[in-house]
Amino acid sequence: MSELLSPAEVQGAAERVAQLQKGLNQVLLDQTQVVEQVTAAVLARGHVLLEGLPGLGKTELCKALARLLGLPFRRIQFTPDLLPGDITGTYVLEGEGRRDFTFREGPLFANVVLADEINRSSPKTQSALLEAMQERSVTVLGQTRPLPEPFFVLATQNPIELEGTYPLPEAQLDRFLFRVQVPPVGAKTLTTLLTTRVRGTPPVLPQATDAEGLASLFAAVDRVHLPVPVADFIGRLVEASDPRGPGAPEPVRRFVRYGASPRAALALAAAGRALALMRGKPNVGFDEVVAAAPAVLNHRLVLAYEASLEKVGTLDVVRALLQAIPEVPRA
């Protein structure tokens, strides 16, 4: 059992995270919740799927995050003719005289990868991300190459333009820690945007941390204690998301076809730890789990046909789930 974080360690980590969040908030105006979730996903070493209408600043957010972290950044524009080798890399014939096949690394070989409009590529290309996101490695012609640490995939997806797109398979979705809904901004935010930026160009941000600092943050997150009652709450929450589970509430049994996987429980614990550290706590509380649950379970619940008939979304089901499952089991 590792030593519990000291107050000083927690405070130092929280200050660095706050600096990171401050920079992101300067880029993405009036989207504090989105920024918090993206930051928590980074601290939890998870991948984020940003979903929202065009022009909301999703791509700028990813670019700003890479700049703030001081990590190499690659952007992949997913198109229908994109091939797996285009993103993982491939062998090319190089040299003069005796020519050899040399492996050319693809854009995945970066610390921060922006998969822009990921649903526009074919499922074959989307599947090329599975190993990279889960194993953080790429296998080409039988040779596995590790990706650089840390490795983040920030994908964007347009929920309204469905023609010519390929919905992400469930296995692909499950590999994202969060699916963050980017809401539209209000008039006040737009006024600020118009008055402070020239042609919408975001301000140049100073680097908030580096790879070493980020690694220390990761270590601090791992030392955040997860109490047994909170872990039990996470377990019951994920179990209840399965409509065939014993504790499934009525909305889940009615509207959900498939529940969350054990990977969801791991994601909830990791997100809870990250959120706890961001909030200056050495341990995870129920509030962190409740705060992370919508973004974690949002894309892991497969709704039934009745949900679309009654216009019930996954967030509605998750909210009902959180209300139905008590923090401590009733005797």
Binding site for another protein (CB under 8 A): 1, 3-4, 6-8, 225, 227-230, 276, 279, 281-287, 327-329, 331
Q: Which residues contact 304 (CB under 8 A, 6 or more apart)?
A: 243, 254, 255, 256, 257
C-beta of 253 vs 279, nearer to another protein:
279
Nearer to another protein, 72 or 229 (CB): 229
Q: CA 133, CA 120: separation in Å to the nearest integer?
A: 18
CA distances from 2 to 60, 223, 240, 303 (A): 38, 7, 31, 40
In the complex, the smallest distance separating the C-beta of residue 261 from another protein, rounded to whole angstroms, is 25
Q: Least separation, in Å, of the C-beta of 193 and another protein?
A: 35
Residue (203 or 329) nearer to another protein, CB: 329
Tally of residues, the chain: 331
Nearest distance in Å: CB 65, another protein? 27
When the beta carbons of 149 and 232 are compared against another protein, the nearer one is 232
Min dist CB 331 to another protein, Å, is: 6
> Which C-beta is closer to another protein: that of 236 or that of 263?
236
The three-state DSSP-derived secondary structure of 125-171 is HHHHHHHHHHCCEEEECCEEEECCCCCEEEEEECCCCCCCCCCCCHH
What are the CB-based long-range contacts (under 8 Å, 24+) for 262-267? 262/238, 263/174, 263/300, 264/174, 264/238, 264/296, 264/297, 264/300, 265/234, 265/235, 265/238, 267/44, 267/46, 267/177, 267/292, 267/296
Smallest distance from the beta carbon of 227 to another protein, in angstroms?
Answer: 4
Q: How far is the CB of 38 from another protein (least distance, A)?
A: 23
Nearer Cβ to another protein, position 150 or 282? 282
Beta bridge partners of 73: 112
